[in-house]
């Protein structure tokens, strides 16, 4: 399971927005004091230049931080989508993943390396990605390092101006103009230092959060690579032995199933053989019965002539008996064909029909037992 904070960059952006609103509110309620502190009674432009430079650097760095946080937010979404696809057993885990994202490029890189039958060096891929992403923080890192130095530089310039004013006090008779320069220099030194410190604290905190976001994202990508990407395209000795062991177990199970199936087929063959033997025996019995019927019919023909000549039986009754015999013989023939074709008619029923025909031939024509 990949452990990373999916909405970490969004939370940092929310903190940035809230802290900016609080700072703006504080500036608004202290606007008159700040106006007097920064803009009134300025003997030179050094305060405007230094404080303006500090604020410009801060704003440039802040916009860069916001851009990178938004960028890493999209990377977090792409990584979350990739992990979701893997958990849902998607055929292509990069489905609906941004093709410019880091996780997509990592998947494509591993796939391309595996196509050349070369071992994938995960450490090299991780080091390359870390070096590439560290370049994105070059500007914020530079601004974070020079913000406080810019304040120090403004303090040095302001103290230099104050020293110039002090020299004017010494050289002039009244010293009033020189005193204004000294006060201005000290005030400018204080304002530039305060501006640099406030901007450095604000920017330094969110720069640290940005590095945390980057570290969290890269950690999630490396975990996803280890858990989900590398096993798809790389084969180590231990993993191959594990796969072979699983294959042997599957073969044993298949052999057991085949053995059971063979036993079932053998039993079915014996049952079929017994059924064929019974069918052959019944067919022989039916053939014997039919031959006996033929003999009875042959005897019936002579008896019929005799009975007809002597008028001992009505011709209508004879005609009905003969038709009944024909119907029974037709049914017996049909049942015999059905038995031969599909064995779906009961053999006992056929035997009973044969016996009934025999009785009719004997009793219907008043023949003696044969």
pLDDT category, 32, cuts 50, 70, 90? confident
Tens digits of residue pLDDT in 300-339: 555 555 555 544 445 566 556 556 665 665 665 565 555 4
* Tokens 């090299």, residue located: 124
Asked whether the beta carbons of 97 and 81 are under 8 A apart, the reply is: yes
Same domain, 300 and 190: no
Calculate the average pLDDT of the chain. 79
User: Could you give the C-alpha distances from 31 to 27, 123, 307, in angstroms and in order?
Assistant: 6, 54, 145
Cα-trace Rg, the chain: 54
How many domains in the chain? 2
Whether pTM > 0.75 for this model: the answer is: no
C-alpha distances in Å from residue 366, one per residue of 15, 42, 128, 306? 118, 152, 113, 12
Residue 270 lies in a domain: no
Contact assessment for residue 354 and residue 332, using Cβ atoms and an 8 Å cutoff: yes
Q: What per-residue confidence (pLDDT) applies to 303?
A: 57
Dihedral in degrees, nearest 10, Cα atoms 194, 53, 17, 3: -100
Give the separation between CA 196 and CA 209, rounded to whole angstroms: 20
- Report the C-alpha gap between 247 and 240 in whole angstroms: 10
Is 71 part of any domain? yes
Asked whether residue 307 falls in the same domain as residue 176, the answer is: no
pLDDT band for position 235 (cuts 50, 70, 90): low
**What domain range is 161 assigned to?**
8-234
- The stretch 24-38 carries a mean pLDDT of 88
Say how many Å lie between the first and final Cα of the chain, rounded: 92
* Token couple for 181: 């320069």
pLDDT in tens, 67-100: 999 999 999 999 999 988 888 877 788 888 888 9
pLDDT at residue 362, rounded to an integer:
58
Statement to judge: residues 28 and 149 lie in one domain? yes
Residue 304 burial (10 A CB sphere; 0-12, 13-18, 19+): middle
Between 259 and 150, where is the model more confident? Answer: 150
pLDDT digits (tens, 9 = 90+) for 250-286: 888 888 888 888 888 778 777 777 777 777 677 777 7
Instruction: Tell me which of 234, 268, 285 is where a domain ends.
Output: 234
Tell me the pLDDT band of 205, cut-offs 50, 70 and 90: very high
250 occurs within a structural domain: no
Residue 271 lies in a domain: no
Tell me the per-residue pLDDT of 175-189, one tens digit each, with 9 for 90 and over: 566 677 778 788 888
Is the residue at 247 inside a domain?
no
* Inter-CA distances, 132 with 73, 96, 125, 129, 136, Å: 18, 24, 11, 5, 8
Residue 294 is given by DSSP the state H
pLDDT at residue 180, as a whole number:
75
Let me know whether 220 and 281 are in one domain.
no
Domain boundary residue among 177, 209, 234? 234
Which residue, 169, 199, 234, sits at the end of a domain? Answer: 234
């Amino acid at each position: 399971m990949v452990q990373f904070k999916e909405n970490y960059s969004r939370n940092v952006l929310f903190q940035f927005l809230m802290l900016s609103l609080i700072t703006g509110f504080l500036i608004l309620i202290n606007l008159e004091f700040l106006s007097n502190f920064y803009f009134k009674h300025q003997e030179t432009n050094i305060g405007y230049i230094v404080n303006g430079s500090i604020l410009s650097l801060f704003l440039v760095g802040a916009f860069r931080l916001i851009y990178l946080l938004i960028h890493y937010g999209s990377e977090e979404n792409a990584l979350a989508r990739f992990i979701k696809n893997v958990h849902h057993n998607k055929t292509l885990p990069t489905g609906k993943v941004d093709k410019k994202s880091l996780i997509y490029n990592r998947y494509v890189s591993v796939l391309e390396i595996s196509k050349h039958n070369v071992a994938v060096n995960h450490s090299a891929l991780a080091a390359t990605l870390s070096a590439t992403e560290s370049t994105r923080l070059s500007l914020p890192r530079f601004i974070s390092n020079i913000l406080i130095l810019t304040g120090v530089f403004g303090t040095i310039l302001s103290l230099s101006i104050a020293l110039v004013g002090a020299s004017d006090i010494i050289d002039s008779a009244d010293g009033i103009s020189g005193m204004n320069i000294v006060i201005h220099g000290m005030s400018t030194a204080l304002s530039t230092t305060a501006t640099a410190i406030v901007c450095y604290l604000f920017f330094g905190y969110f720069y640290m959060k940005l590095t945390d976001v980057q570290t969290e994202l890269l950690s999630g990508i490396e975990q996803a690579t280890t858990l989900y990407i590398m096993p798809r395209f790389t084969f180590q000795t231990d993993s191959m032995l594990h796969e072979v062991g699983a294959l042997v177990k599957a073969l044993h199970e298949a052999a057991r199933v085949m053995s059971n199936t063979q036993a079932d087929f053998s039993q079915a063959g014996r049952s079929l053989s017994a059924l064929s033997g019974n069918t052959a025996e019944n067919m022989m019995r039916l053939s014997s019965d039919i031959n006996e019927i033929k003999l009875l019919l042959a005897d019936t023909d002579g008896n019929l002539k005799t009975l007809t000549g002597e008028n001992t039986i009505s011709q209508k009754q004879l005609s009905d008996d003969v038709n009944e015999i024909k119907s029974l013989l037709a049914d017996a023939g049909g049942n015999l064909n059905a038995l031969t074709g599909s064995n779906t008619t009961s053999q006992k029923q056929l035997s009973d029909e044969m016996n009934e025909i025999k009785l009719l031939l004997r009793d219907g024509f008043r023949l003696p037992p044969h």
